[in-house]
Amino acid sequence: MWRSAWAGCSGCGCDGAAARVTYDGRQRGVSPLTSRPASSSAAPLEVDARARRLIVVGAILALFVGALDATIVATAVPSIVGDLGGIDLLAWVFTAYLLTSTVTLPLAGKTGDLFGRKPLFLVAVVVFVVASMAAGAAPSMEALIGARALQGIGAGLIFATTMAVIADLYSPLERGRVQGAVAGVFGIASVIGPTMGGWITDVSTWRWIFFLNLPVGAVAFVAILFLMPWTRPPREGEARIDFVGAALLAAAVVPFLLAMVWGGDRYEWVSVETAGLIAVSLVALAAFVAVEARVAEPLVPLFLFRNKVFAVSVVLLLFTGAGMFGALTLIPLYLQGVTGASARLSGTLMTPMMIAVPISAAFAGQMMSRTGRYKILLIVGVVLLAAGMFSFATVDEQTSRAEAIARMIVMTLGLGVTLPLLQVVVQNAVPFSVVGVATASVQFFRQIGGTLGVAILTGIMVGRFREGLDDAASGLPAVLDDPSALLNESVVAGLQQRYEASATAADPAFEVVLAAARVSLADAISLVFVVGGVIVACSLIAAIVLPELELQSTSPAEMARREAAERAAPGEGGNQDA
């Protein structure tokens, strides 16, 4: 259950083919320094500085509630089940949001490139707010799951569009500062979600977790509606959405995510069900690639993967996402299950970690904007993240909370440096006409990596936990085999009654076996952070080989005009060779 709570080519005129490459390996239509393929333009927003700031504030507000709702429900679970029942369906409250938000990302990026960001953003906010109202008023668990699925669609649209809007407003050289702030907001929302959810449930009702999205969403809607102009990219011919590709991508992503969520929980990892889900995903993925290579308006242009910056960034995102999110989701389990902190106290203990994200993100963004360099910052960020994870692997039930907090801060300093920079790096390396698709792809692969990491590292942790119980106390595994039980005092009390009812005089007291369980959990979490640290350390290779292009200081409007001129120039039109 707690694992499920963890809970992203068109316009280039090349008909799906890659941009031409000259004899020296550089792509045509650009200066040798930036190595960009020529393409038609996606018209950016031309607004004054004050309006730009207000648009960003509105976009960040929408992003905040979208990120918040991915985790805020976790601590309200007992109240939701108490009101609605349907405990056997509870996991779908989280899974539905994860599935729809992830699948929506590529489609959102493509749609924004085709039709402009403003209408898509307004639709996203409306969908999210309506879904929040439905979730808050849900009369049954089934209705809540449906509302959460709709919320995920709105959140996926918001995530992709927010980052693309910033690319429309600021040059690559300027984006570092803004992306740092956005990454900070995203990190804060993700971390404070469980704490805020518990606080709202304590003082009111779980339904206000969703109703509070209404005023924030309304402010974001008004800011976008009245401040952001609607600009559609100039195109040759009719803009078309690749619905076949979208369906195939969904058919590839959904079974994969379900296999990751259910594997080792509902089904064994080595089972017909898990293998079947992965097989369906692979077949759909192959069909998706075949379709994208042939359609005129691919949902995800395959030439992006021949862009070395984009391809290396994808690898970096997959590895850091897998190691980082897979391990970080277990920090609340350590604080509550090992140290015995309450849910509220664990939220308080995680506050310094939460604050470190926007600080490091803002610093890295400022440094990138001032120096025009990003590679050394990414390398430092990955090193910090890996070092923090390895250091956290040394914590146990005897470690002081201050020491644990210090280790958490080192990890999140690296996290804050890494994520916002990669967004700008990818945007800087692709044609402006596909910046929405590229931006959404960054978030999509980060989400896929994170889901894969959570599944793998959670499985490792649970297996090690159970092994430790077998070694520490006889008879205990029959009573306690799920480490999440240590998070709930009432569940622990129930386990104690069951254990004492079946214990013999030779068995140890429940307090002894409970302490053994906490030791076993600490050991299991330490192993997870070692494995996660190794995964993140592997991404250091990708950070080292990542090409460093000059960050352009040209305004998005001028970039779009140049691409349009290159597209219209003799010899640059028509089909392009791979």
Task: Encode pLDDT of 378-437 as tens digits.
Answer: 999 999 999 999 999 998 888 888 899 999 999 988 888 887 788 889 988 888 888 888
The pLDDT assigned to 7 comes to 40
User: Does the pLDDT value for residue 185 go beyond 60?
Assistant: yes
**298-312 mean pLDDT:** 91
Average model confidence (pLDDT) for the chain? 79
pLDDT band at residue 1 under the 50/70/90 scheme? very low
Q: Which residue has the higher pLDDT, 499 or 297?
A: 297
Looking at residue 73, what is its pLDDT? Answer: 79
Q: CA-CA distance, 121 to 126, in Å (whole number)?
A: 9
Identify the residue with better confidence: 527 or 494.
527
pTM across the whole model: 0.78
Residue among 522, 540, 509, 512 at smallest CA distance from 483: 522
> So what's the pLDDT on residue 172?
85
* DSSP secondary structure of 211-273: HTHHHHHHHHHHHHHHHS---PPP-SS-----HHHHHHHHHHHHHHHHHHHHBTTTB-SSSHH
Read off the pLDDT of residues 246-262 as tens digits, 9 standing for 90 and up.
999 999 999 998 888 88
Model confidence over 551-567: pLDDT tens digits? 877 767 666 667 666 66
**DSSP characters for 83-147?**
HH--GGGTHHHHHHHHHHHHHHHHHHHHHHHHH-HHHHHHHHHHHHHHHHHHHHT-SSHHHHHHH
From first CA to last CA, the distance across the chain in angstroms is 47
Q: What pLDDT is recorded for position 40? A: 36
Q: State which of 331-335, 345-349, 501-505, 508-512 shows the largest mean pLDDT.
A: 331-335
**Tokens of residue 164, six digits:** 């693309």
Highest mean pLDDT among 14-23, 177-186, 259-268, 391-400: 391-400
- Fold for domain 1-16+42-241? Growth Hormone; Chain: A; (1.20.1250)
Mean pLDDT for 315-330 is: 84
Q: Which of 40-54, 252-266, 329-343 has the highest mean pLDDT?
A: 252-266
Residue 33's Cβ-count burial label (10 Å; 0-12, 13-18, 19+) is exposed
What pLDDT, on a 0 to 100 scale, did the predictor assign at position 226? 84
pLDDT digits (tens, 9 = 90+) for 97-114: 888 988 899 998 888 888
Region of poorest pLDDT, from 75-79, 154-158, 224-228, 234-238: 234-238
Task: Quote the pLDDT of residue 35.
Answer: 35
Examine the pLDDT at 137 and tell me if it is beyond 60: yes
Give yes or no for residue 237 having a pLDDT over 70: no
pLDDT at residue number 69: 78
Asked if 410 and 388 touch (Cβ cutoff 8 Å), the reply is: yes
Q: What is the pLDDT of residues 474-497, one digit of tens each?
A: 554 455 666 666 666 666 777 777
The pLDDT-based confidence of 53 (bands split at 50, 70, 90) is: confident
Question: In which band, very low, low, confident or very high, does the pLDDT at 83 lie, cut at 50, 70 and 90?
Answer: confident
Q: How confident is the model at residue 447 (pLDDT cuts 50, 70, 90)?
A: confident
pLDDT exceeds 50 at position 132 = yes
